[in-house]
Structure 1
Amino acid sequence: MPNSLAYTLVITGAPWTTQAPQTALLFARAAVSAGHKIDRVFLYGDGVHLASSLNAPPSDETHWSQQWADFLTQHGIPATACIASALRRGLVNETEQARYELPANNLRAPFEIAGLGEWVEGSKAGDRTIYFHGGS
């Protein structure tokens, strides 16, 4: 499609306490529907809570972590949680579980944990980087 853009999305707000993940998902769905590409999603700060497999909202609320996981899987979009933010907030994958000898891991597929290099790479590769902050 002519004039299509590739976006990198950065989410810094947690689900259920901010609208950042919800707004980012609405944007991502609209962008893909319009023929644009989401190059990658990067979670930073409290945004890493979106990648937890332990989120369990009440049955009458939208499960934003699952909604994101389904969208990413359906469209083959990579999503990364910043390792420093993730570790500070108790989000670990199998590698970090073993490294820190923790009793469990809780990273929801298809999210991955990596460093800020993923954000830098995404910012360089995409046409636009859009931030969804959880500010107060």
Structure 2
Amino acid sequence: MKLRRSYMQHINPRGAIADFREVFRQAGKNRWRITIAAMAVTATLFWALTKDSWRVPPAKPQITYINSFPLDRTPEETKAFIEKNQKLKDKVEAREREIAEESKAIYRKLGEISGMDVKKIEREAKEAEAAKAAEAARKQQAPVASR
């Protein structure tokens, strides 16, 4: 059985040192500038790669539990509360639809002023939406393949 020699046994730093001396001599009068620039780049890279953040993680939030419904609330009170919130939700949604329509009207006007065919763009957008909805419906109805 033959023993394997160490990889480090084949490395000789004398050649590397001799090569470094030769390159250093060939650099001429700029050798110190080049050396300082190379050392600065190397030091900057090492500094950037080894920089570590020692920030303290943020404190965990303090949770406050709120019981907003009294335990003795009647079903009628619950229904009234739900209806009130539903009306508020409907008002908010209606206002959001109004705002969306207003912004569409503004963009339509801007498109017309810019010389675009706004009706064609809207028609293409509706067709794309319908195709996307049909694709989603088709995927939903398709049977799931077993693995």
TM-score of the two chains, using structure 1 as the length reference:
0.19
Of Structure 1 and Structure 2, the greater helix share is in 2
Which structure is larger by alpha-carbon Rg, 1 or 2? 2
TM-score (norm 2): 0.17
Bigger strand share: 1
Higher relative contact order (Cα pairs below 8 Å, separated by 6+ residues):
1
